[in-house]
Amino acid sequence: MLIDTYGRVATDLRVSLTDRCNLRCTYCMPEEGLQWLAKPDLLTDDEIVRLIDIAVTSLGIEEVRFTGGEPLLRPGLVGIVERVAALAPRPQMSLTTNGIGLKRTAKALKAAGLDRVNVSLDTLRPDVFKTLTRRDRHQDVLDGLRAARDAGLTPVKVNSVLMPGLNDDEAPDLLSWALEHEYELRFIEQMPLDAQHGWKRDGMVTAGDILASLRTRFELTPEGAGERGSAPAERWLVDGGPQRVGVIASVTRPFCAACDRTRLTADGQIRTCLFAQEETDLRAALRSDAPDEEIARIWRLAMWGKKAGAGLDDPTFVQPDRPMSAIGG
């Protein structure tokens, strides 16, 4: 079991498969990209599967989410999914992606055992997409979403970040589109995880702003705390349901008290929180032939030291040195 001093138990593992990405989203990284991890620093496929095996069989992990960077850029992704699906007990598996490669991989991922996907899409306007991501790939994302739905990687969840002056007027249109295509839309407050450290709290589009915009067109009924559990998204029934919309208010309404996550970076570090300043090295233990029991012990110790919260409301908050692309969403 992965328990901390506040009594929280981690059952959800986020696994970053690569720090690389084929987009350059303005809220994540600079246009020229970043200095990518050297290949020897990355965990191998075998190392990733071994760590997930330890997490599932020895540490109580029930859900595994593959992230990046962009996880579809990982050459061995389908094989990793297939091997994790063969573990006993079998964890639930999902993938967070920008959707660009889903058109060609959705069927194979479903056949390998992937349960569902989260796809990032911030706008319905191709020109705004190009401005936000610095790439002209909007149609590829739409095609990837359709392929995921048709392959049965459902519910297909769409994650959207609204930015002032760019797409902050699109919330109702995004929800109308998601309802039409049977996607579950979730808005996410912009978080301080950009490599340029340009995030400013007073300039962000808040959960309150998003809900006010949605209510100009839709009736929203709170789903209720009992339905939420440890999920980060507060959800509302749209026009009486059954379809829903979610808002992840990481900054203005943090949910740290219910957090059930542990994170593994692409280079084998354990992070107890997206905003953690410290990491615990599992790669060194792997490569020094440590037994599974020792690796599990190191992991438990790391999670025991998890802090009470991310500290975003603390005026002394310091943004993590690693951008989101390097530590997984």
Q: Which residues contact 90 (CB under 8 A, 6 or more apart)?
A: 113
Q: Are 323 and 193 in contact (CB under 8 A)?
A: yes
The 3-state DSSP class for residue 35 equals coil
DSSP state of 85: H
Quote the pTM value. Answer: 0.89
Query: Tokens 């980060």 belong to which residue?
Result: 232
- For residue 128, the model assigns a pLDDT of 96
| Phi, psi at 65, each rounded to 5° | -115, 120
What is the average pLDDT across 265-278? Answer: 90
Q: Cα dihedral sign for 321, 323, 324, 325?
A: negative
In SS3 terms, 50-79 reads as HHHHHHHHHCCCCEEEEECCCHHHCCCHHH
Of 17-21, 56-60, 206-210, 312-316, the poorest mean pLDDT is in 312-316
Report the C-alpha gap between 304 and 278 in whole angstroms. 13
Judged against a pLDDT cut of 60, whether residue 140 lies above it is answered with yes
What is the average pLDDT across 145-161? Answer: 97
Of 57-71, 150-164, 313-327, the poorest mean pLDDT is in 313-327
What is the average pLDDT across 36-53? Answer: 94
Judged against a pLDDT cut of 80, whether residue 230 lies above it is answered with no
Judged against a pLDDT cut of 80, whether residue 115 lies above it is answered with yes
Q: pLDDT tens digits for 283-319?
A: 999 999 999 999 999 999 999 999 987 655 554 445 5
- For residue 196, the model assigns a pLDDT of 47
Q: Are 186 and 160 in contact (CB under 8 A)?
A: yes
Q: Are 250 and 232 in contact (CB under 8 A)?
A: yes
Instruction: Characterise 213 by phi-psi region: left (phi > 0), alpha (psi -120 to 50), beta (else).
Output: alpha
Q: Got the DSSP string for 241-302?
A: SSSEEEEE-TTTS--GGG--EEEE-TTSEEESSTT-S--EE-HHHHHTT--HHHHHHHHHHH
Higher per-residue confidence, 164 vs 113: 113
Burial class (CB in 10 A: 0-12, 13-18, 19+), 213: buried
- For residue 254, the model assigns a pLDDT of 78
Q: Cα dihedral sign for 105, 107, 108, 112?
A: positive
Of 37-46, 198-207, 215-224, 275-284, the poorest mean pLDDT is in 198-207
Query: Tokens 């055992």 belong to which residue?
Result: 113
- For residue 310, the model assigns a pLDDT of 64
How far CA 84 is from CA of 168, 191, 217, 310, in Å, comes to 39, 30, 43, 30
Q: What does the radius of gyration of the chain's CA atoms come to, in whole angstroms?
A: 19
Give 30's pLDDT tier (boundaries 50, 70, 90).
Answer: low
- For residue 199, the model assigns a pLDDT of 44
- For residue 209, the model assigns a pLDDT of 94
CB crowding 224-261: b at 16 or more within 10 Å, else e: eeeebeeebbbbbbbeeeebbbbbbbbbeebbbeebbb
